[in-house]
Amino acid sequence: MEYGTGERRRPDRRARRQRGAVLLEAAIIAPFVFLLLFGVIEFGWIFYQYQDVRQGAREGARIAAVDEVSNSDGIRTQTCAQMEEPANTTVSMSRTGNVVGSRGTIVVTRNIRSLTGFLDPILGSSRNVTSTVQFRVEESILWTNDSAKPC
């Protein structure tokens, strides 16, 4: 048989085995690639939610330290307004006194949501992110200690 005469050359047995090996290797590697891909996506989403909670706690502490709003509910509302996604978030605040130099604490907690559902078996019931910020009172304050309440 000469090349270029238009006759088809039959694939030999080695080429068929090679294609089968490639398919098998892809089937073995694919789950690990998806695990890595979805793990990175889910980690990024959880980290975003943590940063949002942290930002809300910092802003809440700033508002509470200077008594910008004068009541607990107003501080909570302002804290939640500073976050991108305040759903499933609780805010609690406490202080040791109401004079300049007293110490206060804001605690913001959110029940995190899974984006892909891929890490749900790993996360289990520990699905909260919490940020606690302590601050020094800068102005005489009127707000009182308040337990955790939703946004």
CB 100 within 8 A of CB 137: yes
Alpha carbon distance 99, 109 (integer Å): 27
Nearest one of 132, 45, 52, 62 to 91, comparing CA atoms: 132
The reported pLDDT for the residue numbered 133 is 96
Alpha carbon distance 115, 49 (integer Å): 11
Mean pLDDT of the chain: 84
Nearest one of 84, 82, 80 to 150, comparing CA atoms: 80
Whether the predicted pLDDT of 54 surpasses 80: yes
Give residue-wise pLDDT tens across range 79-114: 999 999 888 899 999 988 888 888 999 999 998 888
